[in-house]
Chain A
Amino acid sequence: MRMDKDTFREILDSILRNRSRSLLTGFGVFWGVFMLMLLIGGGQGLKQLLQNNFEGFAQNTCIVFAGNTSKPFKGFKKGRRWSLTYDDVDRLRNIVPELETITPSVSLWGRSVTRDEYTYGKAVVKGIRADYRNIEAPKLMYGRFLNDADDLQERKVCVIGKGVYASLFPEGGDPCGKPLRIDGSYYTVVGVDWKEGGGIQINGNASDQVIIPIRQACRAYNLGNVIHMLCFTAKEGVTMSDITPRVREVISRAHYIDPTDEQAMFLLNTQLMFGLVDNLFRGVNFLVWLIGLGTLLAGAIGVSNIMMVSVRERTTEIGIRRAIGATPRMILGQIISESIVLTLAAGLLGIVVSVGILAMVELAMTQDGILKAAFQVPFGAAVAAALLLTVLGVLAGLAPSLRAMGIKPVDAMRDE
């Protein structure tokens, strides 16, 4: 069968001049595609919303901090307090080569930060090294993050969180270079970290933080060699769970702790957590596709069904066409083409409408011109859906057109 402009016009005429029939037929597919696209976009958006909580947080991180021992070991009683020390960094570096970044940090809670007449009372002062950015990436609004020189020279500089900035600089503008007083010492602001306090909070909400170099923090707060927390990431391709037992062993041995004492040392492996979320969304995705494809398939079967009825209804028309010279092949081609055009048109409409709705959702999710989560269907998925529709159109048209092909021209006359 030729597929030229003429044939296409003939098909279009059949579809457009039998509006209610076509609308009924197309609606199933429209709804199927609409739901599929909406579910895909919605699922993806929800996933991103959830992932926003972990934003900027390295996904293969492990965090270690000290607790009280719960088992006696080497003559020490249980319930002993201990602390991580700066030496643990080098110890891990030397003994566990699979680790990428190993960075210590100290944190001091409920500190008050003052600038002129403004005071922020619940700040968390956090002493870190520059490589802490590998664990929790800053989202700088102004200035810079701390660097190695800040730490080595024990500079009195700080990077402040969004909340601290809002309270101390209500007039807005770039605060860099301005002095702040933290517990009696003056620090110069070098940057503002705009990161929101998300689901993962290490030592308090990111917006309450005042970040200073760790050496300076240890000196200012008389911490000596003690550190509060050790964060490390694994090298590319290394599974964190494989090396955490060795980390535990190395640190336990150095501090005379029973290596089996889980409560003496907290090891927080974020990879496990991210894995959990990943699995959750894999499940959600599976459901989305199952339901979406199911609806789409139901729609296609609906098309097939209504086409079937319509073929019966059109027996006379098809009989006339046959009587005046249409070959069975031409009839077959016409019915299948009608099915394809209908499913494709309805499906594309479904894609367009769902994309429109998702765009509106995105509009609603946009704050300060920053999109919180992309709800939009990826272009590839839309193209794939369109291709799938064509195939479904052929399949849906197959049975009705085979029936139509069986209609004899005499049926046209008999069917009166």
Chain B
Amino acid sequence: MLISLKDINKTYNNGQPLHVLKGIDLSIDKGEFVSIMGASGSGKSTLLNILGILDNYDSGEYHLDGVLIKDLSEKQAAEYRNRMIGFIFQSFNLIGFKTAAENVELPLYYQGVPRKKRQALAMEYLEKMGLGPWATHFPNEMSGGQKQRVAIARALITRPSIILADEPTGALDSKTSVEVMQLLKQLNKEEGITIIVVTHEGGVANETDKIIHIRDGVIGQIEENRQHTAWSGPQVK
């Protein structure tokens, strides 16, 4: 079991206490391609933050790759994030004054990998994303789809246990969305990388093998979706 959540509770205390996650139990295996679906306010972002070690939880247990993730110091959390998790954000979150290659190699910089090796690896991953010629371009010179692929390369470069994608197609047009989802799918199939996509779009969720519905802070239905037939609305295709 790569990820196992046991009775995770989380309450925000901003004035009015807000019980966001009310006992989440969830396990995700290695190599799965999962989506977490829910309306806004359902707690899916909070769950993603906890999965990504970006936020603490109040009670319960979260094991990631056999390590108990609980009450970590900032330093430890940073290290685990760096080594075990690759993030893909809705707004790409590339650093504007760094080139594509420099953005990709940044996680390795924080690991203390020598510059030469970093650069070689970054090029390798960019080429894998089909962005070899764009390595020295800055993010504002690239299209949304290209930017997201740079972000994916950055997420992959540390060979993390899981990729967490927060609305990865949210800022993309439908054609590019398809490309990005295909890319994720391909990474999952060919390299066996565990990917968790958080989305509120049925079409996006339909591309994954398993859909976890979250509603009002609890896990609702878990749909097996090997055939990608769960969604009958407009397809991302």
Contacts and interface: CB of A to CB of B under 8 A. Distances in A.
A138 interface: no
Given A13-B97, A324-B107, A413 B112 contact: no
B44 to A, nearest CB: 13
A326 B89 CA distance: 17
Interface string B54-80: 110000000000000000001100110
A324 B81 contact: yes
B231 interface: no
Interface in A395-416: 408-410, 412-413, 416
Most interface-central of B49, B78, B109, B166 (chain A CB within 10 A): B78
A13 to B, nearest CB: 7
Interface in A1-60: 2, 6, 9-10, 13-14, 17-18
The bracket for how many chain B residues form the interface is 20 to 34
Nearest to B49: A410
A413 B49 CA distance: 10
B93 A325 contact: no
B49 to A, nearest CB: 6
B75 A412 contact: no
Interface string A309-323: 000000011011111
A198 interface: no
Nearest to A408: B54
B155 to A, nearest CB: 8
Interface in B102-140: 102, 106-107, 109-112, 114-115
Contacts of A9: 115
Contacts of A410: 49, 54-55
A319 B109 CA distance: 16
Contacts of A323: 52, 54, 81, 87, 93
A411 to B, nearest CB: 10
Contacts of A320: 93-95
A392 B234 CA distance: 60
B154 interface: yes
B107 A325 contact: yes
B6 interface: no
A329 B74 CA distance: 9
Interface string A331-375: 000000000000000000000000000000000000000000000
25 contacts: A2-B112, A6-B115, A17-B98, A316-B93, A320-B93, A320-B95, A321-B106, A324-B82, A324-B106, A325-B82, A325-B110, A325-B111, A325-B158, A326-B110, A327-B74, A327-B78, A328-B74, A328-B78, A330-B110, A408-B54, A409-B54, A409-B81, A412-B89, A413-B91, A413-B93
Ordered nearest first, which 4 A-B pairs have the shortest CB separation? A325-B82, A17-B97, A325-B110, A327-B78
Interface of A: 2, 6, 9-10, 13-14, 17-18, 316-317, 319-330, 408-410, 412-413, 416
